[in-house]
Structure 1
Amino acid sequence: MPPGTADSAGSPLALISLGLVAGYLSGLFGVGGGVVVVPALLLLGVDQRIAVGSSVAAILPTSIVGATGYALSGNVDWIAGLMLALGIVGGAQLGSYLLARLPRDLLFWLFMGFMVVVVVSLWIVIPERDDAISLTPLSSVALALTGVVTGILSALLGVGGGIIIVPILIFFFGASDLIAKGTSLLMMVPGSISATLGNARRNNLSMRIAAYVGISACLASPLGLLTAHAISPFWSNAAFSALMALVAIQLLAKRLTRGSKA
């Protein structure tokens, strides 16, 4: 891509519209919104590295706004979020190191299997709104290890941490759907800062794109949060399982496209 193309790609209206959709999904599901932002930026003609880097930068203000909204309603577990954040930052670094050293085919299909198991579990385990994470020394270590695994998978497969963390907190740690989403957004803040600083050093982001998408996403995030509170845990799980199915289809399509080109 010629110099300057990334910064001129996408009209302000298109980027703002994209940010509004991503922000709503972020507030509703406790995810970063990259599952929508990155493919849309690619369709707008943005280079893939710039698209990923700009998406991560846009997630920072969105996750802060979303985590704050959930925190104000008492739906953030601060200690669990800290343990996850510590793990995911270290895991992301390890994932970057392993990127050229592990068989990605095996990892890809293991992750797809994980997605299937999680989608099924979301229809079996329906949390109660007053459920909370039981923190013990053992569960704290398990949370940190979960963060490490999430960071590795995020780096290797290019998926956001929220799509992994939210169902795990519900299924394995007994969190309510709202606490899982709020804690997931809190966890994203340090990870996004770390990744954005790295992408900025490598010129892998467009501040223009990140600003348009990130600021508009902040405006829509509270609406997603209100929707999350308004719907029942059952419908929350049903909607999240649909999002995970969309992510799985997107990853599979991307893989098949690369395979056909090869």
Structure 2
Amino acid sequence: MDIASWLLNLLLGAALGTLGGLFGIGGGLVAIPALGVLFGLDQQLAQGTALVMVVPNVVLALWRYHQHNPINRRYALALGLSGLGSAWLASLLALQLEARSMRLAFVGFLLALAAFNLWRLYRQLPDGGQQLRHPWPWLIPLGAASGLLGGLFAVGSAVLATPSLTAIFGLSQVLAQGLSLALALPATSVTLLTYAVHGEVDWALGIPLAIGGLASISWGVKLAHALPDRRLRQLFCGFLLACALLLGFRV
């Protein structure tokens, strides 16, 4: 890879990192469609390469969110530990599936998630708060289900957990995004390890993306805390739809 390509990948990583910080997802949700469209990677290789950027971005974003709103350790452990095993099993399954089928499933996942978020946005729901609406052990099945999607699609854990934590558990959008990152960290780490062992990671492409993302993700986190809760949800819905359309052109 020449210097110009490396710098372009660095800038792309910076853009993806900003979005990852804004929505509390580490940037992988848009990195996977971008890698498929811009670089022609198949679905599994795009997911594995995106995780090189996602894992360090999640670490930094989690720390930044915790600085603004301290994350409850009990809640974080309930989500993170329950999601770890299911993410590992799902990542093994993902590596056995046909690439086109995986891409179709990923587009369907994004559209379903966007529809759920639109319903949540325009339905009159109570404002999110600081405390869980249900007892914390109910976070365990949420973590397991989210980890399953995270292992299968390399990004699903946070994007499922965030709307669930707001709509079902009654947390504010910002608190939900921070807690979702605590779930995403172990799930994405074990998924990256699984993909790497099976040779589904382009390290030369993923490393500059990771460096660019680390340099910019704090800006996204700062912007997330500056935006009104409803506006942040609207942006998240638009973001999901845009990613689904972008990747749909490659199916």
Q: Distance in 2 between matches of 1:45 and 1:110?
A: 22
Question: Deviations for 1:20-74, whole angstroms, at most 9, x for unmatched residues?
Answer: 1111111111112122212222334353233211211211110111010011112
What root-mean-square deviation, in Å, do the aligned CA atoms of Structure 1 and Structure 2 show?
Answer: 3.0
Shift of 1:238: 1.2
Q: Label 1:114 to 1:33 Cα distance change in 2 as closer, same or farther (>3 A).
A: closer
1:56 aligns with 51
The whole-number CA distance in structure 2 between the counterparts of 1:177 and 1:68 is 17
* Corresponding position: 1:152 with 2:151: no
Q: Distance in 1 between matches of 2:60 and 2:30?
A: 18
Query: What secondary structure is seen at the aligned counterpart in 1 of 2:170?
Result: coil
Q: Which has the larger radius of gyration?
A: 1
Give the TM-score normalised by the residue count of structure 2: 0.83
Deviations, residues 81-122 of structure 1 (Å, cap 9, x unaligned): 222222222222343466679x99999868744541332112
SS at match of 2:117: helix
Given that 2:132 and 2:169 are in contact with CA atoms closer than 8 Å, whether structure 1 keeps it comes out as yes
**Aligned match of 1:203:** 199
Change (3 A) 1:44 1:116: closer
Q: Which consecutive unaligned segments of at least 5 residues does structure 2 have?
A: none
Shift of 1:223: 0.6
Structure 1 CA distance for aligned equivalents of residues 113 and 39 of structure 2? 32
* Cα distance in structure 1, aligned partners of 2:27 and 2:57: 9
CA distance in 2, matches of 1:43, 1:247: 11
Q: Where do 1:51-130 residues align within 5 Å?
A: 51-96=46-91, 112-113=111-112, 115-124=114-123, 128=127, 130=129
Counterpart in the other structure of 1:167: 163
TM-score (norm 1): 0.79
Structure 1 residue ranges without an equivalent (≥5): 1-6
User: How many residues are paired up?
Assistant: 245
